[in-house]
Amino acid sequence: MNLVAVLIVRDEAANLSGCLAALGGVVDGVHVHDTGSVDATVALARSLGATVSEGEWHDDFAAARNAAVGAAGRPDWVLSVDADERAVAAPERLRDLLRAAPAGAFLVEIDNRHDELPYTHRTPRLFRPAAMHWEGRVHERLTPTADPTAEAPSAKPSAAEPAAKPMPQWPVVPRDALHLVHLGYADPETRRRKAARNAGLAEATLSEISDKSEIATALLDLGRSYVGAGRRQAAVDAFERLRELAPRTRQWILGTDALARLLLGAGHDEAVVVLARQLRDAGVDGEYCDWLEAQALAQLGHPDTAWRLLRGVRRVVDPAGRSYPQHHLAELKRLLGELVTAGRGA
C-alpha cells in the first residue's frame, strides 16, 4: 500500500518546509505540482525530497488538483494537502485504517486558525485516486469517478462549477490517527488576498453557466469570497440573489446562514432573527439556530429571551458542518448570564 501526499503550489517557499516536515513518517512520498512559482518553491521542494511537476495555471483549482494527482504516479491513496497546512498523525494507526478501508475516500478534520473565529470542519482529503476526482473551479469538491478503473481526469479547465450533489457518506478518519491544521486564515491580509482571488474565479464561473443549480452554487462561492475579501454589500447582494433563485435548496441554506452571520456582525439584528427562524424551519440544527438567534436578540436588548435560547446549547455546528470551539460558547454564555443577572438586580 502506497500513500502519497499531493500538493498544488505557487510561490509557497515560506510555507513548504513546515508542511513537508510535518508529513515526514506519515506518507511514503510527496508530490508537489507547481503552477507558476517565481520564488524558490520548485528548487526547495526538490531539495526536501519531493517529486515535482510543473504546469500552467488555468484559474481552476480542480484542474490543477487533477493534474497534480495525475503526475503523482499511481499511488493507492492520496492525501491532498496545502502548503499552509500541517499534518498531525499517528502513522501506524493511519496505515491500519487504510489497509482495512473499503471506502473510496475519508473525511479528514481540519482545524482552521482563523483571525476572527477559529473552527473545525471535515472534508474529503484522503482518497483512492482511481475512484475519485476533483470538480469545481473554486472551492473544489472531491467527487466519485463514474468508472472506478479510469485514469485521473485531464487537467483541462472545468468551465463551470458542478451542480450541488449530495455528499457521499464517507467515513471519518479518527482525529488521533490524522488531522490537519490550517494556518492560512490566521493572517487577515492573507485571508483577504485569497478571498479576492476566489471571488474573481467565481465571477468568471457565473459568466459561463446557465443551469440554475450551477448558478446557485457559484453565487454561494461568490458571496463567501466577497465576505472574506471585505466586500460586504457585494456579498449581501450575492446571497440575496441566491435565496431568490434557489429557495429551500442546500445552497439556499448555506447562503442564508452566511448572510445571517454577515448581518449579525453588521448589527442588522432584526433581519438575523428572521433568517435564524427560516433556517430552523428548513431543518437546520436547532442548537445552532438558537445560538445564532440568541446573539441577535441580546444585541436587540432582549437578554432574558436570548438566555432562554442559549442556555440549552451544548455545541455549535453550522449547516456546512463547521464546529466552533467550546470555550467561545462558554464565554458567550458567561457574558449573557451576567447581563441577565445584572438586569434582574437593577
Q: Which residue has 491580509 as its cell numbers?
A: 189
- The answer on 172 and 115 residing in a single domain is yes
The DSSP code sequence of 166-194 is PPP-PPBPPTTTEEEEE-TTSSHHHHHHH
According to the model, what pLDDT value does residue 149 have? 44
pLDDT tens digits along 252-272? 999 999 999 999 999 999 999
According to the model, what pLDDT value does residue 178 have? 98
Asked whether residue 218 carries a pLDDT value surpassing 50, the answer given is yes
pLDDT tens digits along 277-330? 999 999 999 999 999 999 999 999 999 999 999 999 999 999 999 999 999 999
- The answer on 199 and 170 residing in a single domain is no
According to the model, what pLDDT value does residue 207 have? 92
Burial of 21 (0-12, 13-18, 19+ CB in 10 A): exposed
- The answer on 214 and 78 residing in a single domain is no
Asked whether residue 87 carries a pLDDT value surpassing 80, the answer given is yes
- The answer on 168 and 240 residing in a single domain is no
Domain boundary among 182, 207, 241: 182
Domain boundary among 126, 154, 182: 182
The helix (run of H) or strand (run of E) holding residue 80 is strand 77-80
Give the distance from CA 89 to its chain's centroid.
Answer: 20
Domain boundary among 143, 159, 182: 182
Asked whether residue 7 carries a pLDDT value surpassing 50, the answer given is yes
According to the model, what pLDDT value does residue 346 have? 55
- The answer on 200 and 335 residing in a single domain is yes
Closest CA to 31 of 83, 68, 74: 68
pLDDT tens digits along 18-41? 999 999 999 999 999 999 999 999
- The answer on 112 and 21 residing in a single domain is yes
Pairing outcome for strands 119-127 and 105-112: antiparallel
Q: How many domains does the chain have?
A: 2
Mean per-residue pLDDT, 107-136: 93
CA distance 157 to 175: 34
Pairing outcome for strands 29-34 and 51-54: parallel
The helix (run of H) or strand (run of E) holding residue 280 is helix 269-281
Residues of the chain with pLDDT > 90, as a percent, come to 84
- The answer on 197 and 175 residing in a single domain is no
Question: At 208, is the secondary structure helix, strand, or coil?
Answer: coil
pTM above 0.85, yes or no: no
Asked whether residue 230 carries a pLDDT value surpassing 80, the answer given is yes
- The answer on 66 and 39 residing in a single domain is yes
Could you tell me the residue range of the domain that residue 339 belongs to? 188-345
CA distance 295 to 244: 26
pLDDT tens digits along 128-176? 999 999 998 888 999 999 754 444 444 444 444 344 445 568 999 999 9
- The answer on 172 and 23 residing in a single domain is yes
- The answer on 211 and 175 residing in a single domain is no
- 103: which 3 cell numbers? 471506502
- The answer on 40 and 159 residing in a single domain is yes
pLDDT band at 62 (very low <50, low <70, confident <90, very high): very high
Give the sign of the dihedral formed by CA 74, CA 77, CA 81, CA 83.
Answer: negative
CB 81 within 8 A of CB 3: no
CB 48 within 8 A of CB 42: no
- The answer on 199 and 161 residing in a single domain is no
CATH code where residue 52 lies: 3.90.550
CATH code where residue 248 lies: 1.25.40.570
